[in-house]
Structure 1
Amino acid sequence: MKPDTERRIASLGLNEHEQGLLVQQLKMLRGRTQSLWSYAGESANADLTITLSRSGSPSASARLKPLPDLPPLRLEWPLRLFGLISLLEECETRLANRPASSPGTVSQASLAARLGALEAPAVLVHDGLFIHIDPEQDLLRSNLGDAQRLFAGLAGMPVDIELRSADGIRELPHTFGLKALVWALALREEAGASRDWAHPGATYRIGAWPLFGEWQTTPAMMRLSALYARQFASLAQGAAFASTSLVEVASFLHACECCRLGLDSRFSTSKVAASVRPDEQPQGLLQRLRKRLGLGFKRT
């Protein structure tokens, strides 16, 4: 079989021995897959990334960078030769069947999206800033203790900055909530660069509320949470309901997606209704919003 294209596979969390085995397995599979797969180390510029988590029993998953909206593929670990070829063939099938430019498809992974999608510890180093990310504990440790300067450092990082393995990481003195920083970073990013949020016929719904007691919020975001948690709604519906701009609604939905709040989308060729249902008018929904927030405050 002659490969029809070249693709790169990266890893995160693998030790030197495991990386060497992966390289050898890829060499053994040359000519047996549609694409020619090569190992790219711990690189952000790869078509496929295998992530290994060593918390408790080792667990591995794989994610396709060109299709970040799809859930990660769960892998048996240690990864054997037949498991690897099955993974590569499944990835090639998914890539071959992806829509060329479907509405709502992410075209460029943002830094917030990449941090929010992490499933294993990783390290970021940039311009004197040293960061250890622990997604399972929802923690971000840093050598910088000032939250505003830390956020400014994250916001100034390039999207394609390399995520390195956290093996042998030294203890860092300052701890922050990971999702709180991802949320704030996502709100600042240009949401329109990653998705055509306002595509005609596109509606959205979220599966969980943002943690407004801990995350950055505004009155408009509270209203948007109440609307999108209850029903599918378009960008225009959200803007009208919360008395805010389409850009702000897109940023809110982008942040929900980056923080894995269960964002779901639907796309229809029929015209989306221009208004919220009668029982979803502001007064009734705000009453439920106050009740919901009151319950949340009691838990804390």
Structure 2
Amino acid sequence: MMMSHETPVPAPSVKWRLNGAKLFWLLRKSPLTLVGGAIMVLMLALMLLSPWIVPYDPNALDLTARLLAPSAAHWFGTDEVGRDLFSRVLVGSQQSIAAGLAVVVIAGGIGSLLGCLSGILGGRGDAIIMRIMDVMLSIPSLVLTMALAAALGPSLSNAMLAIAIVRIPFYVRLARGQTLIVRQFTYVQAARTFGASRWHLISWHILRNALPPLIVQASLDIGSAILMAATLGFIGLGAQQPTAEWGAMVAVGRNYVLDQWWYCAFPGAAILITAVGFNLFGDGIRDLLDPKSGGKQ
């Protein structure tokens, strides 16, 4: 009897599921990962709950309260037009953190599929895709991101798209490398012999085995994407006023940094803490999913 090409084949030999013993090891041996995870959960909670917990309207102007120092009434002080900085930092988490997550989703999704397709195609198709990626990687990431953001126009959505485009080659190369390894496995060769389509091979076999390094890359990229979005906001190519975004707030606050230090300090601290938290958590995910780590830092 002929086997249908949609018939599932045995489970992949590459095992990457989180098990209780290794998770326990992580919690006991890697306190920095716990710190990063706690920061990440806190920041995500603030991002989701900020519309309901802000004490003031983040865009409400009050010229009589401009540039007030931190106090019981305004925990982070006020800006040059009297807006409460604590409220704006909280609401700004929606822009900055969401931008980082969106960049990873876009770049990771497109790059992973493109890399798997490149590895499956081989030959001329593979060469064309990888030469395009090589050209993109030959240009410094910040320069290329700024050029794309300037060409698309200054806005947070365009900044997110520019950052995602620049990050795609990293996922393509990673996914392609995994594909070249996995496509040699016996069960993948058997599936091809029975007429499995390229999409079936990618979705059912290859992408599943490529997930561990891709997840690690994504977890480490979130912090970098947040920093990049803040950088574009700082130089005027990201979020525009009156949008509460951390990089844009630091850009305006630098004009008052000598006398009103709080204007730059608090949104800058939010960028730093968030990026560090996601990076520490990403390091822990790498230790969990890397079969070569052997339970060592």
TM-score normalised by the chain length of structure 1: 0.24
Higher relative contact order (CA 8 A, sep 6+): 2
Higher helix share: 2
Higher strand share: 1
